[in-house]
Chain A
Amino acid sequence: MKKERTGDNCRPFKLAHQILSLTGISFERRSVIGFVELTIVPLKDNLRYIRLNAKQCRIYRVCLNDQYEANFQYFDPFLDICQSDPNTRSLEVFSQFHLAAAQKTDPDHNAGELHIQVPEDAAHLVGEGRGLRIGIEFSLESPQGGMHFVVPEGEGTLTEKSAHMFTYGHTARLWFPCVDSFAEPCTWKLEFTVDESLTAVSCGELLDVVYTPDHRRKTFHYVVNTPACAPNIALAIGPFETYVDPHMNEVTHYCLPHLLQILKNTVRYLHEAFEFYEETLSTRYPYPCYKQVFVDETTDDATAYTTMSILSTHLLHSIAIIDQTYISRKAMAQAVAEQFFGCFITMQNWSDLWLAKGIPDYLCGLYSKKCFGNNEYRYWIHQELQEVMTYEEQFGGIVLDPWQPPASGARVDSKDVFYFPVRNVHTMSPRYIEVMRKKSHLVLRMLEQRIGQELLLQVFNKQLSLATNAANTKIGSGLWGHLLLSTNLFVRAIFTVTGKDMAVFVDQWVRTGGHAKFSLTSVFNRKRNTVELEIRQDCVTERGIRKYVGPLLVQLQELDGTFKHTLQIENTVVKADITCHSKSRRNKKKKIPLCTGEEVDMDLSAMDDSPVLWIRLDPEMSLLRTTVISQPDYQWQYQLRHERDVTAQSEAIDALHNYPGPATRKALTDTIENEQVYYKIRCRAAHCLTKVANAMISLWAGPPAMLTIFRKMFGSFSAPHIIRQNNFDNLHHYFLQKTIPVAMAGLRNIHGICPPEVVRFLLDLFKYNDNSKNHFSDNYYKAALVDALAATITPVISVLQPGAPITADSLSADTKLILEEITRVLNLEKVLPCYKNTITVSCLKAIRRLQQCGHLPSIPTVFRAYAQYGQYIDVRLAAFECLVEFVSVEGRAEDLSALLAVVEGDPSPGVRHRVARALRAAPPFERGARHALDTDQLVHRLWNNMNSQLSNDARLRCDLVDLYYTLYGLKRPLCVPLPEIQAMMKQMHHRERERLERERERMERERERLREVREVELKPIIKQEIVETPIKDELQVGPMLTTDAPTELPVPLTHIKEEDDKIDIISVTDTPMPMFNEVGKREYISDNAAPLPGIPGSAGPIGFEPGMFADRTDLGAPKAKKKKKDKKKHKHKHKHKHSKDRKDRPPPLTPGALRPPSELRLREETRETFSSLSSSQSPSEDISLTTNMSF
């Protein structure tokens, strides 16, 4: 059998032991002087070169066996990734170089930055199986990644200021030379010499603390006897306070000064996690000790290393805090789970990352199921599933193990799917890693369903006991390979334990990307008493979606009970007739049994003659799938009311958004009030009710939605309009009390503004809020109230002349009240700060919202001040979010430049990362929109950072790749054309102008027509509504469009943005909609669409398209049915033409034949068109807006 090349056998040597000694650790200079000694065992006699990993270190000397000094070369390709093609600016090229650079230093390819030559005279030292010691002296100055010094400014000694340092990420090469592979475990001796007042916490057992002769410093000696790999070695040094866990004395917690009290509270239940895992896996915790260090300015909440975790100090909370408890407990439990898988058992290759990530997630999931309950668990899984599906549909299917192709079936090469290489963790987008982790978890959970939880745990147990045995042996035994886990090993282990061959499963879900998408329709056949189901997989060609073949569970709730049917899915369309068990007999009063065995009474009056109450697909989430189930509204309502599964309830709520009506309202109201229902469902129902109420506003009578519920639940006994004194002892009520005001704030009346009643209600909540008798802090509640106030704000209807400055006097009465409240609580926070400054965070967002809606002048000074280093991290991030959003609206180059400066050089690595992500999430301009910010300087700046500046921070580099992709796509950015193209463009420019002349004439005529049309229009209606509503809806409920459109008017800007994304997907399909727009755009060019230099066709930013209103009336609501028909016809008729259009669309109108017929370009254009549509919020204004408008 040919031995496969894996991460652990590619090197010509094995690592037996490593000594790491850091001596000169200086906080002032942020530098480290150190020494490592690796003991390697060569696997061959003629070992001439040894390649190790080391980055950003200065290497002074390499010595073999303390005697022979060796020559070495240092080469880091990340310092200039595209060295051989310096002028390229396209991401495609970059990706290739990027992967090459990562592989050139990948220890799993026997590569590394440090290239040591074994000198001639030392050749005799090398012998197979004989240990060779490589000593390396090195230093590190102001590290840019991997190690972080937190040295607060201000007076006082370092200890008083709580200066500390720690390592982050899993890239050990950034702080000491090593074999930076997860597949090379060895034993360790770690020594750290630090100031006398400081504590060094590192992996392994603390052997001794020795004072230096001058008694000013001390050395901490740690030893790791269980083999551990270099990426799992970490270090934290600081003036820590120590707390030994009272339940398990092998667990020690460290925190920064003054935080001991809340540390004790935070770690209160950690021992339960240990007990749970040990019990579940029936294995002892593999290490002799465990340490938790809470430090400031981490990038992640928790990172697990061998025997220790480095956690964010922001996880700490006092006993009076509710919301944070869930997060902290889960993060800590997760870190403990990673001790078993991830630290003790590591991965063999990068391709096995999914196991190293997924198994701890799975274990942590089991723990949180126990800790937080089954509902929470299922809800969480459901959320994760949706998140993964959304990501895959946007970016492409994630292949968990891309190394080995599945045994059968063609596979899309993953390289083509993503804009970054997925074959190395240093080149993956951080977001991808996050989603991949979630997907791994889901796949493991699916595996659990296939083979049973007990057996799966036995597999884990087997791996752990093998590893435990191996860990106790010496390297000579050759058993250390058992500490590694790979997909193949895992499949084999499953087979050994269970006798089941899971290869097919692995091929299907691990080695193939994407997920299934089912749409289900059903018809009841009365004569035969059957339900005719049709399950289609129509979208298999779309991104991230693939065809599924195999069993699929359908669950029918009938009058007689729940019935499960397993259908074999073999084709894209599967039809099945399912005989109903129950005759139609709803006149008989009888209780209806549910899947849980309960029997309930239902009001069956809404049903027609079908005995089916509701239908679910794959209720246990045993596939990676999205489902689109078409069933009538009353079935969704029954599902929401009576189905006991939270995922079903959640799906029902999603569906009920589309069915506004009294029955839906009743179902939602009952759900909110039902104490038996899971609280998150109740909260979602509240938000859904907001939408439903807005959609049926003209029919709505009585007090605003939810007001009565709120008063009933929280109003005081004798005066319902005054809220009771806070008592958060019932956590369900607490979360509802937080959610309902926010949901109510989303209500809009017939004028599209928040009803004054609701605003008054919210202000009263502020006024009467009294927390004096509560056992919990109300900071999150108050923050939610501020959020609610922000949500009431709608675009200003100004009486001022446009252009007049906004002053305090020009505010409306309600706005004044709101602003007064916001300033008051924000000012109060300065004196009496609340936990994590949640109120400030909400206030900043509220102020930004006021600015967005034109109530306040859009000035960023406040946010800049709050974004300064030295503010609390959450506040900073909120301020940065506002600034990022500000840039995308106002589009000033210096603001963007300031943000990029933060990305490049903020003291906190977490902030750099988060700002980069925020920029990606709200890009300063749309791709190809010819925005003023879209300059070549920006391209060069980003490129320079990606290409060389961020060589030591892989995560930030990949963040910027994400950003670059968002802004420019895969190809060379338009604003930096190649020199030869530039010349051609000049010619084009001339012709283009002529064409525009002609266009303008035609447009004048169009305008005439438009003006007539507008008179017919009664209300301003957002054009976009049509596009946004999925086609599915149009088929079902035509008339709904009428009610829907006007009420959606005050959609916040952000929502509209999201919708753009959706549109993008739709526009690629064959619906006639985009074609209309394309044609429309071609014909009607707004008169301030400046003649563009070059690029025919993409006629720049057009805010307002003259044809749109004309068409709106054509397609308008009263003729919805006709529209449907029309569309269908249209579709058939023009299908051919349309697809032809797509290929060579420009010819009929554009004179130039230069335009490359790339589909990508096409997509860009449609997107652009739509975004400009969406930005024209109030069509009654007769101006074309070029950018995102401020209201």
Chain B
Amino acid sequence: MAAIAGTGTGAEPATPLARRWVKLSGHHLGKGQILHSPSGAWHCGRGGGVMAAAVGMAALCRRLTAALRLSGARPGPTAAGLPGLTLNPLHKNLVKVEPVHQLKFLHTSLSRRGLEEFFDDPKNWGEKTVKSGDAWNIKQLRAKSSEDLHKLWYVLLKEKNMLLTLEQESKRQLKPMPSPERLEKVEKSMKNIDLVVKEREIALRLLQTGHEKPVPGEWRHDFLGRTYWYTYKEWPIPWYLNKKHKKRRFYYLRHVNHFIRLRLEKFLRRKARKQNLERTRRKVLERKFPHLAAKSQSQQ
């Protein structure tokens, strides 16, 4: 299967650990919305595949529809005969997966099954509001395995595409878009998934190599005296042959010290002003509500 065949190219040292780690956390699958994947389908949270590296997403779709056929389709979102991968991405709304044998919910014709996923359930067309659950929290996502996060990412991506399509069409038809808050929820969930995956990658990298960042770098000065983290980039030629790069100055001259001091003063002044403001606000509150003063004193 494509998923197994294409393990990440440059990641040979990483995969054994990744696989082991992912398998351990593999069994608690979602709160019912991500169907129990057929075992062994996804060895690692990552796989090969070109740009849209959904690692044989077609294969995944097929396997999930197979799972659906086996374990019975879910009522509700799949009712209108939408393709197998209609996992409701916003989870609170969801019904638990019950082994109901309702095969009529499966859309078996191959005609426009893929492109239908750019649009919502046909029942929701023309509605004023569409109900949706809450966005995914970071804490909830940390409890999921990498396979689940990977699948959830694509589910959310498709949902986002669908919502963007709806938004554009509503602008075209000069009608209000039903429930635009879904877009924000989806974007927040995707950002949270990204954060969780980054955390896990950093942890793995620290364990394996001892480095936190994926790309090495160093602290450098710029010609204005500021200090910043310079990440090394890949170049086809060395820096001493790069005329434009040689014009960049990674040092500053003596006359810049005056401006560094001014900048420092400005920063300190801002910080002091913010602290004073906070203190005065707290004093005002304590004067109005004396119980707060008593509580802060007891805390101290």
> Does B bind A?
no
Q: Which residues of B contact A (CB under 8 A)?
A: none
Which residues does A use to contact B, with CB under 8 Å?
none
